């Protein structure tokens, strides 16, 4: 018998760190657990690295993790897609950051490495994205970190237009530079990966066992994901352009939009 799958973005969809909602609401948690009881695949599709996904979300035991905007994908604990950034590029970007005093976080699934980042900046980042401090390392020897870990995405802190322009001019042809929701921080990842491509990889991997796919998101980096799913759902307080492309628009997270839409779609 075929199974359905639902892809959930995290930031702005399951959580809202800028509003101090750092984990899904109890009703959202209940709804997601009901999906699993109904043998519906639950997938997380996020720009975050695996180590930056909140404990409250991992405790839901999602079947699939699409991390780093599709560069790293796991299904039932098995890595099924891995597209790290080349070490040559990573070193070049880090050196550019040092020259222009640009703080950077290098993201791997296991942990992340902060470069040119003060203690106060690290604390602010930890607060704003609600991660455990133990996952952000400061290593004296950058080379040893790069030898141990593959880097799938970077967070680049660009508080001024001048610094944004420096990075965009040098790397904008090869990398997406996407503003996060706070702290002048930008997701920095290759243009050949996306959440939409991640959804496509999962659909092909699961194959004809999959009968229907749904996706929930709130921002422009969810656009391709919503288009790739059979049914795309935008959060009511999300990006206006995204809402124009969605099949449905549901209420915001704090108004229990996820649970309400899953009920309307007769998935729970």
Lay out the sheet containing 112-115: strands in order across. 136-137, 112-115, 104-107, 153-157, 185-190, 175-179
Three-state SS for 19? helix
CA gap 58, 80 in Å, rounded: 18
Report, as an integer, the average pLDDT of 139-155: 77
CA gap 28, 43 in Å, rounded: 14
Q: What is the pLDDT of residue 120?
A: 76
**What is the rounded average pLDDT for all residues in the chain?**
90
Q: What is the pLDDT of residue 129?
A: 63
Report, as an integer, the average pLDDT of 96-112: 91
Residues of the chain with CATH 3.30.1240.10: 87-190
Closest CA to 252 of 215, 214, 223, 216: 216
CA gap 189, 169 in Å, rounded: 15
What is the pTM assigned to this prediction? 0.91
Q: Is 3.40.50.1000 the CATH number for 3-83+193-264?
A: yes
The answer to whether 6 and 215 have CB atoms below 8 angstroms apart is yes
For tokens 């209420």, what's the residue? 251
Hey, what CATH topology would domain 87-190 get? 3.30.1240
Residues of the chain with CATH 3.40.50.1000: 3-83+193-264
pLDDT grade for 114, boundaries at 50, 70 and 90: confident
Q: What is the pLDDT of residues 86-102, one digit of tens each?
A: 999 999 999 999 999 99
12 to each of 9, 113, 218, how far by Cα in Å? Answer: 8, 25, 6
The answer to whether 116 and 97 have CB atoms below 8 angstroms apart is yes
> Is residue 117's pLDDT more than 90?
no
Q: What is the pLDDT of residue 99?
A: 95
Q: What is the pLDDT of residue 17?
A: 78
**Beta strand 231-235 pairing with 248-250:** parallel
- DSSP category for residue 21: B
Kindly state the percentage of the chain with pLDDT values over 90.
71
Q: What is the pLDDT of residue 231?
A: 98
């Amino acid at each position: 018998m075929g199974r359905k799958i639902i892809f959930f973005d995290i930031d702005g969809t399951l959580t809202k760190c800028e509003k101090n909602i750092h984990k899904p609401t109890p009703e959202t948690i209940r709804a997601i657990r009901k999906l699993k009881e109904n043998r519906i695949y639950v997938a997380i599709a996020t720009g975050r690295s695996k180590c930056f996904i909140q404990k409250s979300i991992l405790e839901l035991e999602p079947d699939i993790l699409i991390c780093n905007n599709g560069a790293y994908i796991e299904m039932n604990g098995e890595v099924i897609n891995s597209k790290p950034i080349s070490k040559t590029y990573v070193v070049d970007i880090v050196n550019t950051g040092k020259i222009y005093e640009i703080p950077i976080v290098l993201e791997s699934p296991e942990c992340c490495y902060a470069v040119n980042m003060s203690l106060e900046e690290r604390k602010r980042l930890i607060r704003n994205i609600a991660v455990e401090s133990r996952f952000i390392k400061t290593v004296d020897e950058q080379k040893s970190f790069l030898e141990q870990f593959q880097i799938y995405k970077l967070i680049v802190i660009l508080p001024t237009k001048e610094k944004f322009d420096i990075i965009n001019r040098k790397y904008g042809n090869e990398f997406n530079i996407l503003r996060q929701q706070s702290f002048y921080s930008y997701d920095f990842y290759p243009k050949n990966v996306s959440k939409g491509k991640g959804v496509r990889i999962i659909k092909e991997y699961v194959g004809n066992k999959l009968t229907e796919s749904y996706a929930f998101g709130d921002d422009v980096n969810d656009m391709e994901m919503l288009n790739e799913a059979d049914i795309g759902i935008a959060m009511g307080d999300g990006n206006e352009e995204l809402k124009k492309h969605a099949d449905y628009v549901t209420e915001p997270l704090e108004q229990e939009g996820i649970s309400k839409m899953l009920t309307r779609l007769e998935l729970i």
